[in-house]
């Protein structure tokens, strides 16, 4: 792959696409400890064909962003939460944990080394940071690997869903992305492999992504393939699903806090029945990549349910977006510890 240079990039027209930046961080777990850690230039991995990541999906990842502030500084949003979530994903797949301090320090190193690729302040573009962990080495039975690679790479990105703050439509899926007591809570590669086909089917029918229903009865909304779901009820309660098979979104927990403490709203994590969508006047998808993406309409069993509007963002969603991104880009103070300078 050819490395990209900052001068080739149009920071005003970024999509959500891989780019081979100059530097990435890598550490190897061998003989019971992390070693050989540091920055590397090569974006290609040379691993054994017997690696558990290749056969048995022993891999997890994180997604986070570095933000350029108005005065040109760079900051991270709650990176310790990503570290802890990755530790939990690693526990689930019997992979070694990266301590929080090592994780956050490594993220900072990657951002600093590629600082010229952090988009300028002003249009919502960011440097997307992708920590990954995988089992490597020669294994053939279904066992955890002896060796692991932890790597962090990055690239500048714009909107994940094409609309940005303009609503787009979603559809429910007849498939499940994760089992009730499976790996849905963990950010593991297999969940995303399972979501590829339903996601492509949704795209082929003109939808941004699919919304998964609970894997037991297919009655309650779980989450979007790449983000959590939230709705604003007719009487202004911020509601988001609670389920053992959805990814605990850091953005979602941040919005629960901000809705309550900044907008004085009631919040609720509970059941969101697909046949009871009239209770919501607005709905959206939230996540690091998705930020807050308003859901215009949600199609289910051939019927389209429109929330606020298919073309305009609702007022509560807009307020939440302004508060969240205001903190992320350093325009307003956030709660203690949320913003970490690089
Ligand atoms: N749900 C899924 C399936 C995701 O992939 C993501 C992205 O990380 C999220 C939710 C949102 O999580 P976060 O807000 O921590 O990025
Ligand atoms: C993120 O929001 O960071 C994600 O990981 C979602 C998606 C790109 C898989």
Is 232 within 8 Å of 316 (Cβ atoms)? Answer: yes
Is 324 within 8 Å of 339 (Cβ atoms)? Answer: no
The strand pair at 291-300 and 280-287 is best described as: antiparallel
Residue nearest to atom 5 of ligand 1 (CA): 226
Of 159, 288, 292, the residue with max ligand 2 atoms within 8 A of its CB, to mutate for a pocket test, comes to 288
- pLDDT per residue rounded down to tens, the chain (342 residues): 689 999 999 999 999 999 999 999 999 999 999 998 999 999 999 999 999 999 999 999 999 999 999 999 999 999 999 999 999 999 999 999 999 999 999 999 999 999 999 999 998 999 999 999 999 999 999 999 999 999 999 999 999 988 789 999 999 999 999 999 999 999 999 999 999 999 999 999 999 999 999 999 999 999 998 999 999 999 999 999 999 999 999 999 999 999 999 999 999 999 999 999 999 999 999 999 999 999 999 999 999 999 999 999 999 999 999 999 999 999 999 999 999 999
Ligand 1 atom with the smallest distance to the CA of 288 is 16
Residue with token string 């570095």? 66
The neighbour count for residue 306, using CB atoms within 10 Å, is: 14
Distance of CA 219 to the CA centre of its chain: 25
DSSP letter for 96, please.
P
Q: How far is the CA of 224 from the centre of ligand 1 (A)?
A: 9
Which residues are CB-contacts of 303 (< 8 A; sequence separation ≥ 6)? none
String of DSSP letters for 197-236 = HHHHHHHHTT-S-EEEEPTTTS-BEEEETTEEEEEEETT-
Query: Token pair of 303, please?
Result: 């019927």
The predicted pLDDT at position 21 comes to 97
**Which ligand gives the minimal distance to the CA of 86?**
1
Is 219 within 8 Å of 121 (Cβ atoms)? Answer: no
Q: How far is the CA of 252 from the centre of ligand 1 (A)?
A: 9
The strand pair at 280-287 and 266-270 is best described as: unpaired
DSSP letter for 37, please.
E
Q: What is the pLDDT of residues 151-190, one digit of tens each?
A: 999 999 999 988 789 999 999 999 999 999 999 999 999 9
Distance CA 179, CA 300 (A): 21
The predicted pLDDT at position 110 comes to 98
Residue nearest to atom 6 of ligand 2 (CA): 226
Distance CA 223, CA 220 (A): 10
Of 166, 167, 176, the C-alpha closest to 199 is 176
The predicted pLDDT at position 328 comes to 98
Q: Is 286 in the pocket of ligand 2 (CB under 6 A)?
A: no
The predicted pLDDT at position 1 comes to 66
Is 173 within 8 Å of 222 (Cβ atoms)? Answer: no
Of 17, 26, 94, 61, the C-alpha closest to 193 is 61
Q: How far is the CA of 141 from the centre of ligand 2 (A)?
A: 31
Distance of CA 50 to the CA centre of its chain: 29
**Which ligand gives the minimal distance to the CA of 240?**
1
DSSP letter for 139, please.
-
Verify whether residue 65 is a known catalytic residue: no
Q: How many residues does the chain have?
A: 342
Q: What is the pLDDT of residues 281-311, one digit of tens each?
A: 999 999 999 999 999 999 999 999 999 999 9
Query: Token pair of 294, please?
Result: 């308003």
**Which ligand gives the minimal distance to the CA of 131?**
2
The predicted pLDDT at position 2 comes to 83
Catalytic option among 65, 108, 187, 252 = 187
Q: Is 342 in the pocket of ligand 2 (CB under 6 A)?
A: no
């Amino acid at each position: 792959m050819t490395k990209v240079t900052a001068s080739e990039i149009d920071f005003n027209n970024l999509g959500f696409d891989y780019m081979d930046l100059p530097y990435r961080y890598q550490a190897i777990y061998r003989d019971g400890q992390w070693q050989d850690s540091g920055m590397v230039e090569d974006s290609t991995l040379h691993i054994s064909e017997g690696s558990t990541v290749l056969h048995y999906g022993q891999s997890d990842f994180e997604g986070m962003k570095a933000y350029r502030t108005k005065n040109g500084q760079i900051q991270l949003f709650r990176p310790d939460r990503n570290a802890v979530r990755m530790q939990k994903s690693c526990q689930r797949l019997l992979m070694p944990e990266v301590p929080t301090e090592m994780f956050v320090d490594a993220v900072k190193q990657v951002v600093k080394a590629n600082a010229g690729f952090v988009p300028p302040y002003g249009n919502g573009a960011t440097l997307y940071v992708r920590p990954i962990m995988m089992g490597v080495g020669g294994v053939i039975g279904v066992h955890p690997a002896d060796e692991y690679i932890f790597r962090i790479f990055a690239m500048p990105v714009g909107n994940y869903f094409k609309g940005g703050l303009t609503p787009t439509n979603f559809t429910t899926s007849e498939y499940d992305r994760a089992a009730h007591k499976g790996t849905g809570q963990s950010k593991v590669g297999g969940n995303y492999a399972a979501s590829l086909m339903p996601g492509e089917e949704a795209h082929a029918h003109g939808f941004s992504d699919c919304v998964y229903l609970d894997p037991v009865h297919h009655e309650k909304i779980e989450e979007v393939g790449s983000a959590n779901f939230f709705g604003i009820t007719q009487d202004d309660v911020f509601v988001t699903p609670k389920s053992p098979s959805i990814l605990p979104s850091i953005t979602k927990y941040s919005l629960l806090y901000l809705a309550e403490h900044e907008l004085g709203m009631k919040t609720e994590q509970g059941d969101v029945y697909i046949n009871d969508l009239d209770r919501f006047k607005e709905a959206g998808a939230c996540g690091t990549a998705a930020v807050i993406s308003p859901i215009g309409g949600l199609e289910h069993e051939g019927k389209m349910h429109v929330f606020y509007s298919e073309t305009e963002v609702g007022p509560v969603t807009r307020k939440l977006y302004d508060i969240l991104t205001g903190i992320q880009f350093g325009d307003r103070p956030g709660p203690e510890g949320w913003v970490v300078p690089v």
